[in-house]
Amino acid sequence: MQRHHSLGFDLETRLRERERSGLRRDLVPIDSVDARARTAADPKGEPANFGAERLIFASNDYLGLAGDPRVAETAVRAARDVGTGAGASRLVVGDTSTHRSLERRLATEKNAERALTFSSGYAANVGTITALAPDVIFSDALNHASIIDGARLSDATVEVYDHCDADALAQRMAERFSDGVTDESWLVVTDSVFSMDGDVAPIEALCDVAEEYGAWVMVDEAHATGVYDGGIVNERGLENRVQVQLGTLSKALGAQGGFVAGDETLIEYLLNAARSFVFSTGLAPPAAAASERALALAPDRRDALWTNVERLRTGLEALGYEVLGDTHILPVLVGNRDEAVALADRITEAGIVAPAIRPPTVPEGTSRIRLTPKATHTDTHIEQCLTAFETAMTKGGCP
């Protein structure tokens, strides 16, 4: 007898609900990862429908290494010599010399005893937090979704403290401590560079507070890896006070994957206990090889990136725009969500691609355009971007 289930999944309704609350997203086809690329006006478009070239100011490939021929050549060689995929979990037969070599390089980069790669930064966060299985996680209010998901999956009690506020962390810890709970394992976790605000966590102050209570500190350097020498933890000499340094190979290093660096015991434990490592195929060898090459090339690209960041920030401020943060990510504050969308549309008309970031991603009244200059934008590209914002201002009354 066939049984009928009358409910099923009404996905059309769910999609309509998302649309109503502004959460419906579309794919945006693009024909290359270069600073200048063609995008399709129609999200469902095929390459044949690609329009004119636009300048992309929305990529996390900050150093332009995803399109670097030397990195590509290294990836091709690894694909030929080792394989396009690892073929198995690292714990079975997927542990190649390409992985080992990259992990040694990452450990050096992070001033750590050892490093371990994951198939993405997302998998690294979820796998690491669940494997540590803390009793309590103290999490910055603006931490990335993969940290939030790891915390949820870990079953820990989550205490969210105000963004970048070490005093708020201290207060939460003091409150929890005065509840008389003293035998819990505590983990403080924070992004280093925050992707929507372009600001940096007060890592040293967070370490001061954590150390008072014997808590561990984990820092997600996804947006800092490659851009800052060794990451922000290292730049500030905090590598011996941060037990878990996490990063991604997918942004400034232009490849794909994630990693954790720390002491020998941490890494040995994670390769046994992090389920997203144990039960997932090892990082693809071309991505591992490309990342190692990118790490070697990154320092030479940094000056070009910072020159572009400064020119763009100064130029936008001279036009009257308020630019948040103090890193290579430039959030241009608009305020009202509809005005942010209108501004994004106007700069797109002028050939610049940068997204409007709206609630619920950011709080109401703080909608913004998130601009990410790259090392490979030319002076002319930066000028064109500034002209687009200037024209948008005269057309739409912004800022």
Kindly list the catalytic residues: 195, 223, 251
Among 117, 154, 248, 291, binds ligand PMP (CB under 6 A): 248
Using the rule CB under 6 A, is 122 a contact of ligand PMP? yes
Using the rule CB under 6 A, is 98 a contact of ligand PMP? no
| Nearer to ligand PMP among residue 131 and residue 382 (C-beta) | 131
| Distances 255 to 82, 262, 343 between C-alpha atoms, Å | 17, 22, 31
Using the rule CB under 6 A, is 61 a contact of ligand PMP? no
Binding mask 332-371 toward ligand PMP (x if CB under 6 A, else -) reads ----------------------------------------
Among 98, 117, 120, 308, binds ligand PMP (CB under 6 A): 120
Q: Is 394 helix (H, G, I), strand (E, B) or coil?
A: helix
Distance CA 69, CA 81 (A): 18
Among 109, 197, 220, 292, binds ligand PMP (CB under 6 A): 220
Which residues are CB-neighbours of 187 under 8 A, at least 6 positions away?
Answer: 129, 132, 134, 136, 137, 138, 156, 215, 216, 217, 218
Which residues are CB-neighbours of 150 under 8 A, at least 6 positions away?
Answer: 125, 126, 127, 128, 129, 130
Contact (CB, 8 A) for 150 and 130: yes
Minimum CB separation of residue 221 from ligand PMP in Å reads: 8
Minimum CB separation of residue 51 from ligand PMP in Å reads: 27
Total site size for ligand PMP, rule CB under 6 A: 14
Among 59, 128, 146, 280, binds ligand PMP (CB under 6 A): 146
Angle (CA) 292 297 303, round 5°: 140
The two tokens of residue 100 are: 């080992």
Distance CA 117, CA 94 (A): 12
Stretch binding ligand PMP (CB under 6 A), from 45-53, 114-122, 127-135, 269-277: 114-122
Task: Name residues contacting ligand PMP, limited to 181-200 (CB under 6 A).
Answer: 191, 195
Minimum CB separation of residue 144 from ligand PMP in Å reads: 3
| Nearer to ligand PMP among residue 222 and residue 386 (C-beta) | 222
Tokens 């500030």 belong to residue = 236
Distance CA 259, CA 245 (A): 8
- Give the alpha-carbon dihedral of 164, 166, 172, 173, to 10 degrees: 130
Among 64, 94, 121, 286, binds ligand PMP (CB under 6 A): 121
Using the rule CB under 6 A, is 259 a contact of ligand PMP? no
The two tokens of residue 51 are: 């329009």
Helix extents (H) in the chain: 11-20, 69-81, 97-109, 121-132, 145-154, 166-178, 203-212, 232-235, 264-273, 275-278, 285-318, 337-349, 379-396
CB atoms within 10 A of CB 201: 24
| Nearer to ligand PMP among residue 121 and residue 315 (C-beta) | 121
Using the rule CB under 6 A, is 291 a contact of ligand PMP? no
Minimum CB separation of residue 223 from ligand PMP in Å reads: 6
Which residues are CB-neighbours of 289 under 8 A, at least 6 positions away?
Answer: 74, 75, 77, 78, 82, 98, 102
Using the rule CB under 6 A, is 228 a contact of ligand PMP? no
Report the residue number whose CB is nearest to ligand PMP: 121
Minimum CB separation of residue 280 from ligand PMP in Å reads: 12
**352 has which bridge partners?**
55
Minimum CB separation of residue 125 from ligand PMP in Å reads: 6
Using the rule CB under 6 A, is 250 a contact of ligand PMP? yes
Task: Name residues contacting ligand PMP, limited to 9-38 (CB under 6 A).
Answer: none
| Nearer to ligand PMP among residue 173 and residue 224 (C-beta) | 224
Using the rule CB under 6 A, is 258 a contact of ligand PMP? yes
Distance CA 264, CA 266 (A): 6
Q: State which amino acid sits at residue 219.
A: V
Q: Which residues bind ligand PMP (CB under 6 A)?
A: 120-122, 125, 144, 146, 191, 195, 220, 222-223, 248, 250, 258
